[in-house]
Chain A
């Protein structure tokens, strides 16, 4: 899921920084319009830590293995804080673990952060059907978690397949990209279920944390 340095052409990396910059600016503006923008920082900070560490939790999906991403969860619980949270988490993953890279930071932030914001809107649909209902909270939590990851995997697929360098064995590389993307289908179910559990737990103990 994390695209490392040296894989994408320079123009795509630059475009990634442009979109990530725009999304960060928009998110920070939305956060600043809140009554107390600092109120949600502890929650955002803890979930950034979870996002940062999650990429070390590998799940074997033969013939490959995938790792947790949790961008859907961050979107559902954090709202607009999710984008800066993911950007910071990705920065530390790139610097510390070489998961992703600094030139591809913008692309990765866009690829995981924009679906996180979409997951936020998916989760907010529960307000339409009644946010007191535990069933609907669970259902929209699942859809947000699975959808956030699914859209990110799709963006990654499109970016990688359209930029395979001509000097590679294009067929072999394309086949392995498709295999890796398909391996994210079981992970979508897993992250959806995990997000549903987290939001149901929060709804029971601290429902005000889901109000963003």
Chain B
């Protein structure tokens, strides 16, 4: 009879102590959670290398290519940073425009991500293509002038 009473009492006490201790400990604890947010930095320049200072930026989310998801302005270096919404994977389009000049870059967000990318060609590619095209025109000129020779 005696034991029957003591056992539940001891159990209650033990439970109470444990709860009490836990509550004390949680008041001193700290908690850190993390999520990785990916920021995209773009840099817009003219083909002279001059930055598009003050160029207006429009960011289009993959689910709505007609209305800008975010708008902003490039800094003096032509840079603009934004954090795309990770719940919208797909191709994000970023357009930079100034005085009727500008370009649009397509940034894949989600599975096929690339660390960096851009539009345009390297100087060597441009020079090579330019030379080829000019030679095409010169060749045409030579072809049509040969009859007189």
Contacts and interface: CB of A to CB of B under 8 A. Distances in A.
Interface residues of B, number: 34
A4 interface: yes
Given A65-B46, A172-B56, A180 B137 contact: no
A27 interface: no
Top 6 A-B residue pairs of the complex, sorted by shortest distance between their CB atoms = A49-B137, A176-B99, A160-B100, A42-B141, A45-B141, A41-B144
Nearest to B56: A168
A62 to B, nearest CB: 11
A168 B46 CA distance: 20
Nearest to A176: B99
B42 to A, nearest CB: 15
Contacts of B71: 167-168
Given A45-B144, A169-B56, 8 more contacts: A4-B101, A49-B141, A52-B134, A97-B126, A159-B100, A167-B71, A168-B97, A173-B56
Residue of B104, B120, B140 with highest tally of chain A CB at under 10 A: B140
Interface of B: 46-48, 50, 54, 56, 58, 67-68, 71, 73, 95, 97-104, 119-120, 126, 129-130, 133-134, 137-138, 140-142, 144-145
B103 A98 contact: yes
Nearest to A7: B100
Given A38-B144, A65-B48, A169-B56, A46 B102 contact: no
A179 interface: yes
A6 B102 contact: yes
Contacts of B138: 45-46, 49
A180 B141 contact: no
Contacts of A172: 54, 56
Nearest to A88: B137
B96 to A, nearest CB: 11
A90 interface: no
Given A53-B130, A98-B120, A41 B95 contact: no
Contact of B99 (A46, A92, A96, A180): A180
7 contacts: A3-B100, A4-B101, A7-B100, A38-B144, A65-B48, A176-B99, A180-B101
Nearest to A175: B99
B44 to A, nearest CB: 12
Interface in A167-191: 167-169, 172-173, 176-177, 179-180
